[in-house]
Amino acid sequence: MPTSTGKYLLDDFDLELTDAGFDAIPQARRYRWINFGYNRIGSEFPWTWEKAIAQFTMAPGEYYAVVVPGASADIPNFRTIDHLYLTTPTNLRTKLERLDDDEYFYENWLVQDLTAASTRSTPGWYRYEDQRLYILPPPAGNYGFEAHVHQRMVQLDKTVPGTSDLPLTPQWMDQAIMLATFAEAHKRVFELQLAAQDEADLGQWIDQMRIEEEWVETDQQERVSPDNTWA
């Protein structure tokens, strides 16, 4: 049953498949098709809905945040990091800089024992490396952080009903996910003409949404700058 806002859960997408005549297909296989469609939509464009804010804390002796997918991750569904801020009261909204210098990171930081008290100070940089978000120098006290990230889509399943089967996508993308799922389903059962129609409908939908997303991302920025070209 959809959420209170009408957003589809995994079984709502599955019901659309069974109502369309795919009820003879095992449910596990239908779930795979839904996830193929879901992930396809997420990979089509860097949608604005992928942006999220994650807050986490670190204590003395800790020097990285956990970003590996799982229940213990400090930043769930982590894909990329855009900005990172200190939010501890004495350092409110201090922006950390990204450490891009490979040689400096490997030869000046990783050679140290980053759990040692001698390495601790007020953090000023961050570095994403090997599924870890390093905070450098490691914090000398209990610090709070706010990460502005792009999320990564994870497979929908029924492990935690109402959570793990809930797409990250907004409600208005349910139709696109369904079109991508039907395209996958029809191809898998060799109904190629129907699959071609699904692909055409999906392509039109994605083209329109790209236009709207680009408008949100670029036009808003242009609106804050005065246009003096007419003078």
CB 94: neighbour CB atoms within 10 A? 15
The one-digit pLDDT tens for each residue of the chain (231 residues) are 778 778 899 999 999 999 999 999 999 999 999 999 999 988 876 677 888 899 999 999 999 998 876 656 788 888 889 999 999 877 678 999 999 999 999 999 999 999 999 999 999 999 999 889 999 999 999 999 999 998 888 889 998 888 889 988 888 889 999 999 999 999 999 999 999 999 999 998 888 887 776 765 554 444 344 444 444
Please tell me the predicted confidence (pLDDT) of residue 127.
95
- 69 exposure class (CB count in 10 Å sphere: 0-12, 13-18, 19+): middle
Per the CB < 8 A criterion, the answer to whether 195 and 183 are in contact is yes
Q: What does DSSP assign to residue 117?
A: G
**Per the omega criterion (within 30 degrees of 0), is the bond before 137 cis?**
yes
Please tell me the predicted confidence (pLDDT) of residue 58.
93
Strand runs (DSSP E) across 99-142, as ranges? 125-129, 132-136
Element (H, E) at 104: helix 102-104
Whole-prediction pTM: 0.71
> From residue 208, how far is each of 47, 74, 111, 200, 214 by CA, in Å?
13, 35, 50, 13, 10
Exposure on the CB side of residue 94, measured as CA atoms within 13 A: 15
Please tell me the predicted confidence (pLDDT) of residue 217.
58
- Mode of pairing for the β-strands spanning 97-98 and 125-129: parallel
